[in-house]
Chain A
Amino acid sequence: MSITLDNNPNDDAQSDRIRDQQLAYSTPSKERLQKTSSTSKHDEKLQRLDKAKVKFEQLLPELLKEHEGEYAAVVDDQVEIHEDKYKLFKIVLEKYGYKTMYVNKITREKRVIRLRSPRIINR
């Protein structure tokens, strides 16, 4: 399923403000630590990712009504939805090409993952 988003300039300005707030209130230092490469292309990718994330979060209440448990990809002001994450990857790559996008599950719950078994540094 594909949804076209309104690309209203005011909406973009609001998105930027929301994104800035989220960066400020969530994990600002980490967000910037992730930018280890100082290339502008890298920064552009991060901006596109953050912008798509904001769009997803704005749409989430509406998406939850009919698509809870499915996956959404926000790319180029379009939203693609599929129940299978792997199939969604295939669809968006075929339709939009390989580019930065934001993919997440349509859910009320926040998934927190664990990386790396704990290690002893000194003993």
Chain B
Amino acid sequence: MPELLPSFAYLSSYDPPLPIIELVIANPSNQSVTTEVFIVDSGSDMTCIKDDIIGLLKLEFFGYATVAGDTGEEDDYQTAIVRIETPFGVHELTEVVIDSNTNENLLGRDVLNRWKVTLDGPNQQMTIEV
């Protein structure tokens, strides 16, 4: 009998529908956690969180990342270190970019490239293997 892979439904409120995943983000130094929806974005080099999570989890800054926008302009964004808890295991001490100009969290290739991700567009399902 074939093994069932964890699957995640696309978010149909986007046009076209968008693959998303719910993850737990934690402060690596204490018990503060929050569950957040992340857009699965293979176009993002790094994972990015919205800035209200900083206050929520009392995160500290760990540096800057220079981010290129769609039109080529560059801006410096602060980064932080978080623990990311996924259905497939925990990623300790992951550096994430903090974006104050968005209400979306992005799961970038820094995390995605650790998994085998299959996008099933017709069925609006994403499956992940580790």
Q: Specify whether A and B are partners.
A: yes
State the Cβ distance, A76 to closest chain B Cβ, in Å: 13
State the Cβ distance, A30 to closest chain B Cβ, in Å: 5
We find that the number of chain A residues with CB closer than 8 angstroms to chain B is 37
Cα A53 to Cα B62 in complex, Å, equals 10
A63 close to chain B: CB less than 8 A: no
Return the contact of B106 from the options A53, A93, A97, A116 (Cβ within 8 A): A116
Asked if B63 contacts A104 (CB within 8 A), the reply is yes
Q: Chain B 28-67 against A: per-residue CB contact (8 Å), 1 yes, 0 no?
A: 1110000000000111111010011011000011111111
Which bracket fits the contact residues of B? 35 or more
State the Cβ distance, B48 to closest chain A Cβ, in Å: 5
Chain A residues with Cβ under 8 A from B127's Cβ? none
Chain A residues with Cβ under 8 A from B95's Cβ? 85, 89, 103
Q: Which residues of A contact B (CB under 8 A)?
A: 26-27, 30-31, 33-34, 36-37, 39, 42, 45-46, 48-49, 53, 85-86, 89-90, 93, 97-104, 110-118
